[in-house]
């Protein structure tokens, strides 16, 4: 039986290089999903507070669907559903063609729409916490709607929404483990392979727990720094 240090070494006899690659994939996926989810969530929140009934309905339907479906099921629908749809469309032109969907992109899209459905509620609550007089004050000094949103509303929106979005980021970081189900070599998949080959399940799953905890601690330190920076900017204003 190999020693613990051999199993946790770099090189052909160890698994540390594979697990490090899994950490890179996990962090890359989370960082790629974050702006995608935030952007969609922001526009969904705008739709849900719009005076246009059709936009409000579309926003509510969107959040109801993706908050109601399990994340793993959403991942499977995106990965297999998009692949089947694209393949059917391509075969209308090229009957022998096959289409493969990238698992990283599928994971990003699936996690992004789930993240955005929750982020939209955070943004919506933040919008409602901003007094209506802030909008009217911007219009009163000659600012356009876009300028009022950018210069007056967004700085306050970020400060109010940041705690809720920080929690969603930590949830997103953990949800990246789901992409191992579609073959993406993240932390969980690499540690799962290592545990099955080496028969040291407790060692490698314990290492995976430690890695996720370290990522959460690093995220918390970064989030606290961002909150302090935003707070200082608010005081200066």
Q: What is the pTM of this model?
A: 0.88
pLDDT band at 42 (very low <50, low <70, confident <90, very high): very high
Query: How high does pLDDT run on average in the chain?
Result: 86
Domain coordinates in residue numbering, the chain:
4-236
pLDDT tens-digit profile of 195-234?
A: 888 888 888 899 999 999 999 999 999 998 888 887 776 5
Instruction: Check residue 119 and give its pLDDT.
Output: 95
Instruction: Check residue 97 and give its pLDDT.
Output: 67
pLDDT tens-digit profile of 4-29?
A: 777 777 777 777 888 999 999 999 99
Report the C-alpha gap between 76 and 223 in whole angstroms: 31
Report the C-alpha gap between 93 and 100 in whole angstroms: 16
pLDDT tens-digit profile of 68-118?
A: 999 999 999 998 888 787 777 777 777 776 767 788 999 999 999 999 999
Distance of alpha carbon 105 from the chain centroid:
12
CATH among 3.40.366.10, 3.40.50.300, 1.10.8.60, 1.10.3720.10 for 4-236? 1.10.3720.10
């Amino acid at each position: 039986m190999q020693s613990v240090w051999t199993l946790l070494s770099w090189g052909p006899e160890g698994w540390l290089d594979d697990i490090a690659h899994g950490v890179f994939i996990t962090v890359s996926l989370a960082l790629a999903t974050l702006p995608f989810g935030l952007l969609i969530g922001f526009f969904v929140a705008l739709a849900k507070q719009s005076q246009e009934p059709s936009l409000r309905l579309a926003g509510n339907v969107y959040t109801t669907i993706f908050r109601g479906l399990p994340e793993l099921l959403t991942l499977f629908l995106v990965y297999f559903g998009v692949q089947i749809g694209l393949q059917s469309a391509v075969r209308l032109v090229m009957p022998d063609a096959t289409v493969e969907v990238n698992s990283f992109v599928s994971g990003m899209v699936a996690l992004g729409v789930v993240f955005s459905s929750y982020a939209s509620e955070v943004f919506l609550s933040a919008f409602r916490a901003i007094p209506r007089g802030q909008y009217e004050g911007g219009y009163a000094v000659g600012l356009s709607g876009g300028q009022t949103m950018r210069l007056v509303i967004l700085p306050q929106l970020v400060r109010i929404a940041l705690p809720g979005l920080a929690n969603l980021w930590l949830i997103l970081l953990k949800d990246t483990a789901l992409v191992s189900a579609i073959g993406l070599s993240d932390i969980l998949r690499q540690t799962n392979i290592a545990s099955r080959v080496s028969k040291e399940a407790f060692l490698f799953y314990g290492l995976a727990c430690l890695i996720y905890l370290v990522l959460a601690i690093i995220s918390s330190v970064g989030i606290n720094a961002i909150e302090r920076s935003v707070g200082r900017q608010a005081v200066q204003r």
